[in-house]
Chains A and B, each alone.
Chain A
Amino acid sequence: MQTPDPLREFDLNVTRRQLFGRSALGLGTAAMAQLFNDQSFGLDKTSPTSHGGLHHAPKAKRVIYLFMSGGPSHHDLWDYKPKMQEMFGQDLPDHIRDGQRVTGMTAGQKTHPVCPTKYKFTKHENNDEGLWVSELLPHTATVAKDLCVVHSTYTEAINHDPAITYIQTGSQIPGRPSLGSWLSYGLGTMNENLPGYVVMHAKTRFAEQSLFGRLWGSGFMPSEHQGTLMRSQGDPVLFLSNPKGVSSKDRRAQLDALALLNQEQYSKFADPEILSRIKQHEMAYRMQSSVPELMDLSEEDDKTFDLYGEEARDPGSFASCCLNARRLAQRGVRNIQIFHRGWDAHGNLPREHESQCKDIDRGSAALIKDLKRLGMLEDTLVVWGGEFGRTAYCQGGLKRDNYGRDHHPRCFSVWMAGGGIKSGITYGKTDDYGYNIAHPDGTPMRPKPSKEKWTPGTMHIHDLNATILHLLGIDHRKLTYRYQGRDFRLTDIHGHVIKDILA
C-alpha cells in the first residue's frame, strides 16, 4: 500500500511481509488485516470480530473440490437433451454455433454433426423439479436431493492448459496464486498438526492431460500458501518419514538439540524468525504422527466401506482420496482438492467416460453421504466439475454408440453441495443442443463476464470462485494481495456471487 503515511505503510508491510510469513498457524489473514485496519481487505469496521476475522459469517467451514480435469461431457452426464436424438448426424445449425471459435482440432472439420448421447437419462427426485442424471453416474444420482447442479457454467478458454489455469487461478496465463492458496491466505488453518491446504491426485486409466504445479501453487504469494501434496506413492507427505535407522525417539533427541542450537543463534541475533523456525520443526514432528494416523483406515467401520466401496482401500483411487478428504476435514483441514484426470474424450468417448465415471461415481456420492451421516455436510462445501464442457457435435467419425467430442467453453455442468448451498435444485439452462446457455424459454444467450452486470441464470467461472469464497466467509472483492503495484484478486475484476443458489 503506497501511502505517504509511514504508520500505514509500516503496518501494512508488517502485516504482509512479516506476520504472514511468521504465522503459518496464526489467524486467517483477513483477521490479521482487520487487526491492522487494512482497507485493502475492505473490512467490516462495524463489527470488528464478529465473524472470526472473515468478511461475513461463513456458511461453510471447509471446502472439498473434486476437480475433473480434461472437461467432462455435460451431454453424457448431466445435461439431458432428448431433442438431439432426432437430429443425429445432422449439421449443427449455424445460429447455434453462432461464430463460436473452435479449437484447432475441429476448426478444419467440414461438418459438425449433432451427436446425441448414447446414455439413458433418468429423472431423480430432488427438492425441485427433479434431476436428470445419466446412467453413467448411478451412485451420484442417489444424492440428487443434496446437489445443486449448475448447467450454465461457462468460460472463455478453449484449451486445457489455459482453461484449467483460468478456473484454478483466475487467469489463463500462469503466474497467479491458485484458488486453494487464496483460501489458505484468507482462512489460515485450524489444525496445528496437518497442512492447511491438501491436494490429492487420484488415479485414472486415461491420464490424457497434464496437471501443473501452478494449479495448487502460490504464484506470487509466499510458498507457505501452496498446496501440500498428499501422495499415494511413497511418503503421503513429501519427506515425512525419518530415514531408515532413525526412530521417533532419535528424532526427538535431534530436535531438542536443534532447538537449543537455534536458541543460541537467537541469543546472538534476536531475529524472531529463528524462534518461529523452532516451532515449525516441532510442527513437523507432530505431523510425523498425525499424518500416519490420518492415513490409517483401521478405525473405519464397515459402514464406511459400504459407502465408498472396497476400492477405498486402494491408495490413490478416487474413492480413497474421497475418504481421505473426509478424514482430513474431520481433523480441521479446511481446504482440500482432489484432481482426477482423463476426461478429455476427443474420440472413443464412451469407452473413456465409462471408465472415468466408474472411477469417481461411487466415491463422490459416498463423500456426500458420509459427510451427512457425520453431520458435517451442512458446513462443508463440496464442488464437482472440470474446466469446460464438450461439444454437441462429434469430433471424428460419428456412430450411435461411439463418438468423440471437442472442448466446449460456452456451457458446462458443475455441481455443488453442502454448506450454504440450496440442496436438490438445478440452476441455469442450455439450449436444445446443450451448446449455449439459454433463457428460460430455451432461446440461446451469449453472456459475457462483466464487472458491472451479472446475467441471471449464468455462472461464469469467476462467479463460481466468488461464490466459493463467499460461502467460506470471504468477499472475493476484498480478499486482495498486492503485487506489482496492484491489489490482485482471485476473480480479477470480475465475479458475482450467485445468490440464487445460496440456501
Chain B
Amino acid sequence: MPNAVIAGYARSPFHLAGKGALARTRPDDLAAAVIKELVQRTGLASDAIEDLIVGCAFPEGEQGFNVARLIGLIAGLPRSVGGMTVNRFCGSSMSAIHHAVGQIAAGSGEVFIAAGVESMSRVPMMGFNPLPNPALAKASQAYIGMGDTAENLASHYGLSRETQEAFAVASQHKAAAAIAAGKLKDEIVPIETKAGVVDTDGCPRPGTTAEALASLKPAFSATGTVTAGTSSPLTDGASAVIVASEDYARAHGLPILARIKSMAISGCAPEIMGIGPVESSRKALARAGISVADLDVIELNEAFASQALACIADLGLDTAKINLDGGAIALGHPLGATGARIMGKAASLLQRTGGKYALATQCIGGGQGIATVLEAI
C-alpha cells in the first residue's frame, strides 16, 4: 500500500477569541488564506489535489454550508478539487489527515489538503442552537462542560493547583522562547484584516509567572483548581497540511516533513475526556510497533494542564520531549484547527531535531482520544 507523507504545513496566527486581532475575520476567509499560501509556498500543482478536507468543531453560521467546499472556492483551488467538512470536535483536523491517509492507502487519490478552522469569536462553543437530548443528558455526562472534565482529572490524579500552574508557566516560557528565536515564523501565514496585516500569535503571555497564576480565581468550580491560566484560551485560527503519497511527493519535489506511520482513535468516559490520548496513543504506538521510549518528539495537545499532566503520568512520557515550541495553553486552541497544527508541528520538529519518531495526540470533548505516529524520512 502507498505510504502517506506530510508534505507541507502552514497556519494562521492564533489570536484570542472576542478581543483578538482575528475576531473580525470570517473563518472561511481565514482558512482560505492559509491554504492559498500553503499551495504557493510548496509549489503544489493545485489541479492535482483530489480533495480539501476541513476539520471544524462547530460547523454552522460562517462555518456552515460544508465550509470546506467554500474555503476551496475562496482559496482559488480548481473546481475539480472536492471539499468535505469533518467534525470530531478538537480532533477534527487530525481526523481530516487520517481520512486523507486512508484515501491514499486505498488508492483513491494522491494529494490532499487536510485543514482545520475555528473562529471561536464568530461561532460560539456549543453553537448557536444547543439542543441536547434530555434523556441522554440525564443518563450520562455526554454534554459535560470541558472545564468540569479538567477538574475531574485534577482530583482523580491528585494534581495540585501549583503543579498545573508550573506546567502552564513552562508552556508559556517554551512558546515565548520559540517566538523569540523565530521558530514559529515560517509556519505562520500573514493574514490581511481590515485593521492591517496580522503575522504574529496573539495568545501567548510571555511574562506569565507562577505568582500571577496563583492569584486567578477558579474558572469552573468555586472549590476547584483549574483556572483560566491553566486552560487553553478560546482562540481564532486556521491550519493546513498537504498529505500526499510518498511517491507523488518525491516525484513532484514537495517538501516532505515526515511519513505517517500509524493512527488510532479511542473512546473513554465523557467526564474524563482529557484522558483520551492515553488509549489512542497506546493503540497507535502498538500499530507502529514502537514504544514510548522510541519517541523523540511528542505533541500532546494542552486543552488543560490537568489533562495533559494526567496523560503524561499514565503514558510515562518524557516531558523534555513534549511540546518543544509551547502548547495550546500558550498558543491557543482553535478547536477544529489544532489537529493539523500539532501534526504539522510534530513533523517539522522531527526535521529540526533529527529525531526518528513523533507522536501527535489530542483529547476530544465527549470522551475520545486521537493519536498519530510519524516517522522521519
Q: Determine if chain A interacts with chain B.
A: no
